[in-house]
């Protein structure tokens, strides 16, 4: 009679688990240190003056020297600052952190993500309403929140236009020739300006249901001198009806927020000309436990705290394959631009294709 050996995975000991939990507290300290550094101008000043000492930094910004020395030590401990100078009393940013935390034009920029995570709309309001589950909508948030989300979303547009859209077969040529482009849930207009500037032969329409965002977008478009090629419409996407067909409709990090994604997708299909494209640019929420345990998965779980308050959640990328197929889109495809940014696209069947 054979004896089966059952393999068991040993449970971690308390001594092994304690450092894991301690690292979570350390991560919170690093996050708060970055937020303080961004808001007080500490990080930008260090970036502009490599080798600056804590005393020089406090003098430059008119801040308390003792407090600034405490911040510098924490920023060094968290891997944000590096020591520089013979005496080791000078500081500079660690490599590439200036780009990541300060350069809003970079596709890798994450500075505003730190600020958004620190805003009361993210976790504070969630905790306050944990018992009631009270929901809100964008017009219940503060202008600071709207601006922060716009900043955090800017790199998504930077990656999307033009490099991301170039992954869609045939689309770059259509945009070069010129067509009507609709940016749904256009927010504060960052994408509208980028679209109109990148594709000078195209006209652009921005649609958003939040009046404050539309007014901010209108001013941004005006400041860029693009009023003649960009039009704004204030309307929920579920009610969107446009007067002329479009060659491209995009939705950038907002499709998961639609009250009725099927109605919105049907409206998009009705807006597109035969052969027109719908490109959904969004967070690819993990569809496995292993994915949830990765740093991108953990960050996206954090985003879900805000999303829950507006009664939605991020969804796995494959959800959009099913959505587009359900509404007759053809030539479906997808591409992952970063671990937290993926595109899903489809095309209205061209005239005479039998689709």
pLDDT band at 338 (very low <50, low <70, confident <90, very high): very high
In a domain, 184, yes or no: yes
Please report the pLDDT score of residue 132 as a whole number: 98
Q: List the helix and strand counts (H, then E) for the chain.
A: 15, 10
Specify whether 84 is located in the same domain as 188.
Answer: no
In a domain, 47, yes or no: yes
Specify whether 339 is located in the same domain as 204.
Answer: yes
Considering 102, 122, 148, which residue would you say is the last residue of a domain? 102
Q: For helices 190-198 and 143-159, give the axis angle rounded to 10 degrees.
A: 30
pLDDT tens digits, one per residue of 56-108: 999 999 999 999 999 999 999 999 999 987 677 999 999 999 999 999 999 99
Specify whether 97 is located in the same domain as 212.
Answer: no
What integer is the mean pLDDT of 332-342?
A: 98
Q: Is the pTM of this model over 0.85?
A: yes
User: Which of 66-70, 80-84, 142-146, 153-157 is predicted least confidently?
Assistant: 142-146
Residues 135, 126: Cα–Cα separation, whole Å: 9
In a domain, 262, yes or no: yes
User: Is pLDDT of 196 > 70?
Assistant: yes
Q: Half-sphere exposure (CA, 13 Å, Cβ side) for 134?
A: 8
In a domain, 205, yes or no: yes
Considering 102, 123, 143, which residue would you say is the last residue of a domain? 102
The DSSP line for 81-95 is EEEESTTS-EEEEPT
Q: What percent of the chain clears pLDDT 90, i.e. is strictly above it?
A: 90
**Residue 316 CA from chain centroid, whole number:** 15
What 3-state class would DSSP assign to 169? Answer: coil
Residue 282: beta bridge partners? Answer: 342
What integer is the mean pLDDT of 15-30?
A: 97
Residues 54, 168: Cα–Cα separation, whole Å: 49
In a domain, 337, yes or no: yes
Full domain range(s) for residue 64 = 20-102
pLDDT tens digits, one per residue of 203-260: 999 999 989 889 999 999 999 999 999 999 999 999 999 999 999 999 999 999 999 9
State the total domains in the chain. 2
Residues 44, 129: Cα–Cα separation, whole Å: 36
Specify whether 162 is located in the same domain as 251.
Answer: yes
Specify whether 98 is located in the same domain as 162.
Answer: no
Q: Are 186 and 208 in contact (CB under 8 A)?
A: yes
In a domain, 323, yes or no: yes
Residues 229, 198: Cα–Cα separation, whole Å: 12
Considering 87, 102, 117, which residue would you say is the last residue of a domain? 102
At residue 224's C-alpha, the angle toward residues 202 and 185, to 5°, is 65
CATH number at residue 91: 1.10.10.10
What 3-state class would DSSP assign to 331? Answer: strand
Specify whether 98 is located in the same domain as 160.
Answer: no
Specify whether 160 is located in the same domain as 86.
Answer: no
Specify whether 202 is located in the same domain as 340.
Answer: yes
Specify whether 211 is located in the same domain as 323.
Answer: yes
pLDDT band at 52 (very low <50, low <70, confident <90, very high): very high
Specify whether 93 is located in the same domain as 169.
Answer: no
CATH number at residue 217: 3.40.50.150
User: Is pLDDT of 352 > 90?
Assistant: no
Q: Half-sphere exposure (CA, 13 Å, Cβ side) for 108?
A: 6
At residue 327's C-alpha, the angle toward residues 326 and 329, to 5°, is 100
pLDDT band at 1 (very low <50, low <70, confident <90, very high): very low
In a domain, 306, yes or no: no
Residues 167, 343: Cα–Cα separation, whole Å: 9
Specify whether 252 is located in the same domain as 166.
Answer: yes
For residue 328, give Cα distances in angstroms to 34, 248, 263, 351: 46, 16, 13, 13
In a domain, 46, yes or no: yes
User: Which of 52-56, 166-170, 351-355 is predicted least confidently?
Assistant: 351-355
pLDDT tens digits, one per residue of 299-324: 999 999 999 999 999 999 999 999 99
Positions of E strands within the chain: 52-53, 81-84, 90-93, 180-184, 203-208, 230-234, 246-252, 272-282, 330-338, 341-347
Specify whether 80 is located in the same domain as 203.
Answer: no
């Amino acid at each position: 009679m054979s004896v089966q050996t059952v393999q068991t995975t040993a449970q971690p000991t308390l001594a092994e688990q304690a450092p894991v939990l301690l690292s979570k507290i350390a991560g919170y300290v690093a996050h708060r240190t970055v937020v303080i550094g961004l808001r007080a101008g500490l990080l930008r000043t260090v970036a502009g003056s490599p080798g600056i000492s804590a005393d020089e930094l406090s003098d430059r910004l008119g801040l308390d020297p003792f407090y600034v020395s405490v911040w510098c030590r924490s920023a060094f401990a968290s891997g944000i600052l590096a020591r520089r100078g013979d005496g080791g009393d000078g500081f500079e940013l660690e490599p590439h952190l200036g780009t990541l935390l300060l350069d809003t034009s970079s596709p890798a920029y994450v500075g505003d993500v730190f600020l958004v995570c620190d805003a009361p709309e993210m976790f504070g309001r969630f905790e306050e309403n944990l018992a009631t589950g009270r929901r809100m909508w964008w017009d219940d948030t503060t202008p600071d929140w709207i601006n922060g989300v716009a900043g955090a979303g800017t790199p998504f547009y930077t990656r999307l236009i033009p490099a991301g859209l170039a992954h869609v077969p045939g689309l770059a040529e259509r945009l070069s020739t010129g067509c009507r482009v609709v940016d749904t849930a256009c927010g504060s207009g960052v994408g509208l300006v980028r679209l109109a500037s990148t594709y000078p032969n195209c006209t652009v329409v921005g649609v958003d249901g939040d009046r404050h965002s539309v007014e901010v977008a209108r001013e941004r478009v005006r400041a860029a001198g693009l009023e003649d090629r960009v039009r704004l419409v204030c309307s929920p996407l579920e009610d969107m009806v446009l007067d002329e067909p479009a060659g491209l409709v995009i939705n950038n990090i907002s499709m998961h927020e639609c009250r009725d994604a099927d109605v919105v997708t049907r409206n998009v299909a009705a807006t597109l000309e035969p052969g027109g494209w719908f490109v959904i640019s969004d967070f690819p929420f993990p569809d496995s436990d292993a994915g949830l345990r990765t740093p991108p998965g953990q960050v996206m779980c954090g985003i879900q705290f805000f999303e829950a308050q507006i009664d939605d959640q991020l969804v796995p990328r494959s959800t959009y394959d099913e959505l587009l197929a359900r509404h007759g889109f053809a030539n479906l495809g997808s591409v992952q631009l970063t671990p937290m940014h993926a595109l899903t696209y489809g095309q209205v069947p061209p005239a005479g294709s039998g689709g």
